[in-house]
Structure 1
């Protein structure tokens, strides 16, 4: 019986994917199209579109909602979706797709829109336990599978019954009790780490405003800007009518928090950049967004590598742990206890020369660094040193050359041995800190981490949670 059910599920998925890759839409071009699967509204930064009478939907969003994995090959411009032994392969611009190795002719070739693979969707008749209905009043494609016999619950931005918006009480990263709508309909995030995670958890369409420096993932650049992360414009935020604002706890000005709360807008202060509290912060965000399963998947991926770094370095004697100077975005600012960078260093088992300075971001001087004689020097690159997605390495090359010529630094072991590295802010602390930690581990313990490929970890992370490829210079030298 179990084997029979597996066979049915296999053919259900195959038939469903076949249907996804062909067929006309019947909605008027002006309709605002939404899609639900078993009551779960599919979200994405690229909404469905109608071209030539066909409805095109983001392939990755549909596939992942069905529990399939999606991989993108930039060189061949091929997207592959798979679950178990069922596979679908499609080349952008071609009208022939392959379902479990068999060719299928598409009515419209797949195409790229805003960096997303878009494919035609047609209505699917009731077959093998899957049923598709059209809700004309709400302009919604309602898809039901065999994952449950209960009627699908339709959730819309209008909060129509039975999925009316509810309010929950949470504690943010700083122990503040905040009552927030869940899931929020309109979000302003001046915390770029939270913004990135909202995209990863699939609720990016609810973001109505971000900080001026928000630049990842790439589509966030098109969101309305509300000012700097630490001192955003209250007027611009309120003009967007958000029902929640996310900010950095230690950095968002208290008077701004007070102004927003007096205006009736709850403010949630989530860090999402500290290793020690990352899992809890992501879970809290997932609870607010009603994306607990996706949040747990992100936590599991993050924790898998964090625990590996910890396990491999925990028994290294103190005397054999390299002395490391981690410099923040500003020159001669170290990473002390309680800082995100300090926690990254601790997670890979090194001696942080700023650990005893007792403040998170200590201002140091050149003579002190020379006297400490670090064996490895790492510089985090902020906006003044462009790096990361879509950027080249030129600015990092220039900065590294300047650092190694600092007065007296020719006497530092790290400089003499060429162990001076630069790291993009995108993988320094934040949601992708495990990528930065992987580079740290390779730089300080190359023998212990021969099998670890930081770029591969980064590639998998971006594909799994953002559907994009690694593009740009994130470290120098590698």
Structure 2
């Protein structure tokens, strides 16, 4: 991970971004991260480096009144992968424009000197960074200067690792009760779907083609195995087409296989990826989305050979949903909306939009703006 030196300046800049209040007394605590590693950290932590900027999706819930007060550096992915959320944060917390940022683990080596200069109490890394960090001996090198590394995961195996990740971060922030409140809220909202499905005898599960980042490139079709959005489909009462074809969390399926399977429902993940693919065919979902444009783009993706003759298109059951549900603890919102798409009569009273609004009001510092999903209108 290569820090963008031009943005960093000096450690004094990082210090200026931390709350001026005197730090709370810290004690050394032991936590078990999602890789099963026992890590000792001085907690509650006051200075944190986020190895993934989108870890802010949960960090903000723990420090709602001042979400960046502990963050002294972060990866630059939030501004690129979710610029709409980044702009919301920037408007409310303009100091983040000067927050030291860096690239991802897979793109280069971590700048040890800058990490030391930022004087973090802990570095949070996503599990997908482990191979690169191992190759660079990152954990050992940082441990030698007293900087612990804790691995979390909201992406690779979110239904195994989301709750442990939230508990670890909550403990290190001294916000264990708030973390448990979030976990309980998330579980209860998922149960609103699973409890109702459990009461249905001989549940008919629609076959769902779940496309990952449709329109990001000209190729089709990236998808999900039995985890992440693939698991969300199963929890919501569907059958994920790619679960038997993709052994891991992410992979690709052949367009001809999709045609042959003739899915009942097509769901495509979308986001504002102008930083990566300017003018691309992707469906730009996120807070404040232009829904007319999003629907236009979704209609274009539905005309591709993989989908144009499928039952899903003919029946008007083609949808797009915010991609970042795959990398945040907000999966429960996606599960609710997908359940409504798959079983509209069973879940006609379920309002995922209201659930997302409640999430913002209870836990997040940003005002709620709609724009997280779109459907083609039935003909």
Shared fold per TM-score greater than 0.5? yes
Q: SS of 2:171's equivalent?
A: helix
How far does residue 387 in structure 1 lie from its aligned partner after superposition?
Answer: 2.3
Number of the residue aligned with 1:75: none
Match of 1:186 in 2: 47
How far apart in 1 are the matches of 2:269 and 2:306? Answer: 21
263 and 429 in structure 1: CA distance in 2 versus 1, 3 angstrom threshold: closer
Larger helix share, 1 or 2: 2
Could you report, residue by residue, the CA deviation over 1:95-137 in whole angstroms, capped at 9, with x for unpaired residues? xxxxxxxxxxxxxxxxxxxxxxxxxxxxxxxxxxxxxxxxxxx
The structure whose Rg is larger is 1
Please say if 1:361 is aligned against 2:250.
Answer: yes
1:415 aligned residue:
313
Partner of 1:261: 140
- CA change 1:237–1:346 in 2 (3 A) is farther
* Preserved CA contact (<8 Å) 1:193 1:431: no
Query: Which residue is equivalent to 2:335?
Result: 437
Q: Which runs of 5+ in 1 are unaligned?
A: 1-44, 48-138, 141-155
* Greater per-residue strand proportion: 1
8 A contact 1:328–1:334 mirrored in 2: yes
Shift of 1:229: 6.3
**Distance change in 2, residues 1:276/1:471 (3 Å):** same
Q: Paired residue for 1:341? A: 229
SS at match of 2:224: coil
What is the aligned partner in structure 2 of residue 126 from structure 1? none
Distance between the aligned counterparts of 1:296 and 1:334, measured in 2?
A: 32
Contact 1:323 1:376 in 2 (8 A): yes
CA-based RMSD:
2.6
The Cα shift of 1:293 comes to 0.9
- 1:456, CA displacement in angstroms? 0.7
Cα deviations across residues 158-194 of structure 1 (Å, max 9, x unaligned)? x5xxx2x122221111222222221112111123443
Range 200-209 or range 393-402, more displaced:
393-402
Distance in 2 (CA, whole Å) between partners of 1:433 and 1:229 is 25
* Alignment partner, residue 301 of structure 2: 403
CA contact (8 A) 1:189 1:209 kept: yes
Write out aligned runs for 1:300-315 (5 A).
Answer: 300-315=184-199
SS of 1:219 mapped into structure 2: helix
1:241 paired to 2:119 = yes
Decide whether aligned partners of structure 1 residues 314 and 466 sit closer, same or farther in structure 2, where only a CA change above 3 A counts.
same
**C-alpha separation between the residues in 1 aligned to 2:244 and 2:123?**
35
Structure with the larger RCO, 1 or 2 (CA within 8 Å, 6+ apart) = 2
Which TM-score applies when normalising by structure 1? 0.62
CA distance in 2, matches of 1:323, 1:294: 38
> Counterpart of 1:321?
205
Compute the displacement of 1:232 (Å). Answer: 6.5
| In 2, Cα distance between equivalents of 1:356 and 1:191 | 30
Q: Distance in 2 between matches of 1:310 and 1:257?
A: 43
Q: Deviations over 1:21-72 (max 9, x none)?
A: xxxxxxxxxxxxxxxxxxxxxxxx997xxxxxxxxxxxxxxxxxxxxxxxxx
1:279 touches 1:299 (CA, 8 Å); kept in 2? yes
Q: CA offset at residue 227 of structure 1?
A: 1.6
Pairwise CA distance, 1:317? 5.6
**Matching residue of 2:277:** none
Paired residues for 1:216-231 under 5 Å: 216=85, 218-219=88-89, 222=97, 223-228=99-104, 230-231=106-107
1:173 aligns with 2:49: no
Per the alignment, residue 72 of structure 2 pairs with 208
For residue 178 of structure 1, give the secondary structure of its aligned residue in structure 2: strand
Change (3 A) 1:390 1:258: farther
- Asked whether the equivalents of residues 197 and 237 of structure 2 are also in contact (C-alpha less than 8 Å), the reply is yes
Q: CA deviation at 1:242?
A: 1.8
Query: How far did 1:260 drift?
Result: 4.5
1:380 aligned onto 2:269? yes
Number of matched pairs: 322
